[in-house]
Amino acid sequence: MRLYLIRHAESEHNVAQVYAGVTDSALTNHGMLQIEKLADYFRHQGVQFTRVFCSPLQRARVTADALKKDHDSKIVVPDLSEKDFGSLERKSWVSPPAAETRDGFVPTESHEDLSARAKKFLDDYLPPVLQEGEEGEAVAVVSHGVILSVLWRTLKQMCAPLSFSFGPRASLDSHPIIWSNTGYLELEIGMIPANDQDGTLAGSADLSASLSIKVLVINGRQHLVSLKRTRGIGSSKHDPKQRKMDAFFSTSSSPFKKDTKK
């Protein structure tokens, strides 16, 4: 099975450099172009996602929508939401304020809580995919930078000894593993057969130390090579009602369209 851990496209709070964990940040115009490039890239690579899991936050859901056009299997999973930054939500991460102690202070979500969410998602959804999925299964998980990092660490802990490797396009030199907007971590994942005579898969109920993992691509951004940011409007909040300029110029009512009739 191929598993793609994908970060959402650029959001308005990414541009503003503020914490937006559980804040439902909208995408920018540049972010929408990133999504189009990502979907086109996978399509040209022949990747057809059989299942897509995503966070309920709109920046992840909209990104995931572009990957499910050829099928109907998109599952929104609350456990894939970003880290809750508590009282730091919408505050600058460039120069974060001092910790607040007054009434109403909300602490950030703990690493233990994040790990529990990641483990729950993998326990709930990964075994059925591995056991029931067909050869060539491609699964996407569209989420957020912090929770994707925790998800990755949790997956590594489930990997059996000596069953972790890197493909030719990834190496130990690529660590630490990070995610740019619409960047993806591509993994080849399998379950290791048990040594018992009935040939059942190890870890059918508990995935601990029963996975084989090969890292194929780290922070894949090939789809963004030719994408340039449009100053000003590119960083603006995307308005889904706004028509694209190319659509405007192609309309018969546009004063800029040439009259080809003789």
Give the predicted TM-score (pTM) of the model: 0.84
Question: Of 221, 259, 261, 207, which Cα lies nearest the Cα of 9?
Answer: 221
Please state, in angstroms and as integers, the Cα–Cα distance from residue 49 to each residue in 1, 67, 98, 145, 179, following that order: 11, 7, 44, 21, 20
Instruction: Indicate which CATH number applies to the domain containing 58.
Output: 3.40.50.1240
Q: Residue 236 above 80 pLDDT? A: no
Q: For residue 168, tell me if it sits in a domain.
A: yes
Residue-wise pLDDT for 56-85, tens only, equals: 999 999 999 999 765 567 899 999 999 999
Residue 245 clears pLDDT 50, i.e. is over it = no
Residue 146 neighbours by CB under 8 Å, 6+ apart = 21, 82, 83, 114
- CA-to-CA distance for 118 and 57, rounded, in angstroms? 16
Query: Between 95 and 255, whose confidence is greater?
Result: 95
As a whole number, mean pLDDT of residues 164-174 equals 76
pLDDT at 233 over 70: no
**98 located within any domain:** yes
When comparing pLDDT for 161 and 39, which is higher? 39
The span from the CA of 28 to the CA of 238, in Å, is 5
Q: Is residue 205 part of a domain?
A: yes
Number of domains within the chain: 1
- Judge whether 239 lies within some domain: yes
pLDDT digits (tens, 9 = 90+) for 192-231: 876 533 444 444 445 665 889 999 999 999 999 999 987 6
Structure tokens at 149: 């990092």
DSSP, res 80: G
Q: What is the pLDDT of residue 88?
A: 92
111-159 pLDDT per residue, tens: 999 999 999 999 999 988 888 767 788 999 999 999 999 999 999 998 8
Element at 161 (helix H, strand E) = strand 159-166
Average pLDDT, the chain: 82
The predicted pLDDT at position 259 comes to: 43
Domain region containing 46: 2-250
Residue 55 lies in a domain: yes
Is 259 a domain residue?
no
pLDDT digit string, tens, across residues 9-34: 999 999 999 999 999 999 999 999 99
**Residue 199 burial (CB < 10 Å; 0-12/13-18/19+)?**
exposed
- Residue 257 inside a domain? The answer is no
Eight-class DSSP state of 58: H
**CB neighbour burial string for 127-142, b if at least 16 within 10 angstroms, e if fewer:** bebbeeeeeebbbbbb
Residue type, 233: I
Greater model confidence, 205 or 92: 92
Q: Is the pLDDT of residue 178 over 60?
A: yes
